[in-house]
Amino acid sequence: MLKLTIEHGLRLRVANALANFCIMTVGALGIILYVASDNIEEAHIRQVMKMEMDHLVHRYRKHSDFYSQIGSHLKSYVIHHVDDELQIPSYYRGLQAGYHRIYYDFEDIHVLVQSIDDVKFLVAYRIFLHNQRLSELRLLILLSWVAVVAIAFVVGYVLAGILVKQVTDLAERVKLLAPGDVQGVPLMQPDMDEEVAQLALALDDYQNRIRRMLQREQEFTANISHELRTPITTILTSCELLDAEPDLSEKVRLRIKRIEGATSRMGEQLQALLFLAREQALGVMEPVAIEECVNDVVEPLYPGIHRKKLKFIVNIKPDVIILLNRQALHTALTNLLRNAIQYTDEGYIRVDYSGGSLSITDTGMGIEPAFIPLLFERFFRGTTHVEGLGIGLPIVKRICNHYGWQINVESQQGQGTTFRITFPLQLSSNIKLTLKN
C-alpha cells in the first residue's frame, strides 16, 4: 500500500505537472499561431489582390481596349460606364474605391476597387482555398497540441517512475523492517540521490532510537518479571509444602488453597500484563478442545459462582476442537468469566459455541450504552461497586487483536451482557483428532 501510494502519487503528480506545463505552453503557442495565421492569410490575400490590381491597371494603360478575363477564384473587371457595371454581378455594383469584404451565398469574397480617370477597376477574390488551408492549419495546430500533451504525460509518467524508483525501493525496505530491527544493513546506500539519502539517513537514525528504546523496555520488563515471579514461586512452593503437612486441619488447608489460588491468579495477571506491555505470544498454536478449556478456566472461579448461587451452563460439544493458542484463550476466558461473575448477582452465566463464535452470556446488570465504546480502554471501569483495576477487557482486546480474533459486545442495561469472540475461518472449523494405537 505504501509503495502504491508513493509511486502513483508522485508519478501522477509529475506527469500531470509536465502535461499541464505543455498544455499552457503549447496552448499559448497554438493560440498565437492561430491568430497569426489569420493575420498572415489576410495580409497574403490583400497582397495578391494588390498585385492583381496593379497588373490590371498596367495592362489597361498599355492597351486601352483591353478586357479582363474572368477566372474561377480571381476575377477582374474594367468599368468604363454604367452599361459595363450592369454587366457585372449585382453584389459588385455600386462599390466605391477601397477594400471590401462581401458574404454571398455562404462564400467569403474580397473585393478591391480603384478608380483612375473615370475608369473603375475591380478585382474580386473568392478565398475558399485560403479558408480551406487556414482550417487545415488550425486543425493541425489542435492535433499537434493534443499529441504533445499526450506525449508529455506519457514521457512524464515514465520519467517520474525513474525519479521515484529510489523512494519506492526505500519504502519496500522500510516496510520489511520490524520495530527496532535494522537487519544489519543501513537504509542509506551510496548510490542514492542526495534527497533520498537524507530521508534514508533520518529513517536509520529513527530506527536506531526505536531499537534502543525497545531494548531498555525489554530489560525493564524482564527485570520486573523476574522480581515478581520469584516471590510468587516462593509462595506457591510454600503452599505445596504446607499442604503436605499431615497434622493440618481442613480449615487451614482451605486457607492454603485460597492462598495458592490467589497466587496463581496473580501469576496469570502478571503474564497478561507483560503481554499487554510487550505484545509477545503467550504460547504455541495447538489443537484445543474448547469445552475442556472452558472447564479449566471456570474451575477456580466456582467459589464465586456458588457464593452468588448462579447457574453455570456450557453449551459446547466435546468434539469442538480449534487450532489456536491455548494459553491466550485461557487468559481471555478467565477475564471474561471473572467479569461476568462480578457483575451478575442472580440468574446464570452461559458459554456457547456456534459457527466459529464463542460467546459468554450473563444475566447481570448490563452496560450503559454510553460505556460500551469505552469498555476496552485501559483502566476504564463502568462502576466502582465491584473490585478490579480496569485492565481485564483491554487484555482480552489486545489478545484478540494479536491473534486475529474478533470480539464484540451486546448488552441491555438491567438484562445482561454477551461477549462474543469470533475466530478466523481457517481456525473455526473443527479439527478431527484420530487416536492411533
Helix, strand, coil percentages in the chain from 3-state DSSP, rounded to 5: 55, 15, 25
Q: How confident is the model at residue 66 (pLDDT cuts 50, 70, 90)?
A: low
Question: From the CB of residue 47, how many other CB atoms can be counted at a distance below 10 Å?
Answer: 10
Instruction: Tell me, yes or no, whether 263 and 339 share the same domain.
Output: no
* Contact between 283 and 323 (Cβ < 8 Å): no
Strands (E), 117-256: 119-126
Residue 168 in domain? no
User: For the range 175-178, what are the long-range contacts, defined as Cβ-Cβ under 8 Å and sequence gap of 24 or more?
Assistant: 175/2, 175/3, 177/207
CA distances, 58 to each of 46, 63, 70, 329 (Å): 18, 9, 17, 113
Q: How many domains is the chain partitioned into structurally?
A: 3
Distance CA 210, CA 201 (A): 14
173-205: per-residue pLDDT in tens? 777 776 555 555 677 777 777 777 888 888 888
Residue 164 in domain? no
Distance CA 52, CA 76 (A): 8
Domain endpoint, select from 279, 314, 339: 279
Instruction: Tell me, yes or no, whether 240 and 99 share the same domain.
Output: no
Instruction: Tell me, yes or no, whether 248 and 145 share the same domain.
Output: no
Domain endpoint, select from 227, 255, 279: 279
Question: From the CB of residue 46, how many other CB atoms can be counted at a distance below 10 Å?
Answer: 14
DSSP single-letter state for residue 70:
B
- Give me the residues paired with residue 109 across strands: 102, 126
**Closest residue by Cα to residue 160 from 5, 8, 26, 20:** 8
Measure the CA dihedral 49/54/57/61, to 10°.
Answer: -160
Ramachandran area for residue 263 (φ above 0: left; ψ -120 to 50: alpha; else beta): alpha
User: Quick one: pLDDT at residue 318?
Assistant: 86
Distance CA 359, CA 419 (A): 6
Grid cell, residue 185, equals 544493513
Average per-residue pLDDT for the chain: 78
- Choose the weakest-confidence range: 70-74, 369-373, 398-402: 70-74
Instruction: Tell me, yes or no, whether 19 and 146 share the same domain.
Output: yes
* Contact between 48 and 73 (Cβ < 8 Å): no
The winner for highest mean pLDDT among 236-245, 350-359, 419-428 is 350-359
Instruction: Tell me, yes or no, whether 27 and 128 share the same domain.
Output: yes
Domain that holds residue 315: 281-428
* Contact between 221 and 270 (Cβ < 8 Å): no
Instruction: Tell me, yes or no, whether 194 and 95 share the same domain.
Output: no
> What average pLDDT does this structure show over 45-49?
85
Domain endpoint, select from 117, 152, 187: 152
* Contact between 110 and 127 (Cβ < 8 Å): yes
Distance CA 246, CA 371 (A): 52
Strands (E), 41-152: 74-79, 98-104, 107-116, 119-126
Distance CA 235, CA 231 (A): 6
- Give me the residues paired with residue 114 across strands: 121
Q: Which residue has the higher pLDDT, 379 or 204?
A: 204
Instruction: Tell me, yes or no, whether 259 and 270 share the same domain.
Output: yes
CATH code, domain with 341: 3.30.565.10
- Give me the residues paired with residue 99 across strands: 112
Residue 157 in domain? no
> What average pLDDT does this structure show over 391-414?
85
- Choose the weakest-confidence range: 74-88, 247-261, 374-388, 406-420: 374-388
* Contact between 376 and 398 (Cβ < 8 Å): no
* Contact between 24 and 81 (Cβ < 8 Å): no
Residue 119 in domain? yes
Which residue do the cell numbers 492569410 mark?
A: 41
198-223: per-residue pLDDT in tens? 888 888 888 888 878 877 777 777 67
Residue 112 in domain? yes
End-to-end CA distance of the chain: 51
Residue 404 in domain? yes
Angle, nearest 10°, between helix axes 250-278 and 194-243? 180
Residue 167 in domain? no
Instruction: Tell me, yes or no, whether 264 and 351 share the same domain.
Output: no
Q: Are strands 348-354 and 311-315 parallel, antiparallel or unpaired?
A: parallel
Instruction: Tell me, yes or no, whether 89 and 142 share the same domain.
Output: yes
Instruction: Tell me, yes or no, whether 273 and 286 share the same domain.
Output: no
CATH code, domain with 250: 1.10.287
Q: How confident is the model at residue 275 (pLDDT cuts 50, 70, 90)?
A: low
Instruction: Tell me, yes or no, whether 100 and 126 share the same domain.
Output: yes
Instruction: Tell me, yes or no, whether 10 and 131 share the same domain.
Output: yes
The winner for highest mean pLDDT among 145-149, 262-266, 295-299 is 295-299
DSSP H stretches of helix in 63-175: 82-86, 128-175
Residue 433 in domain? no
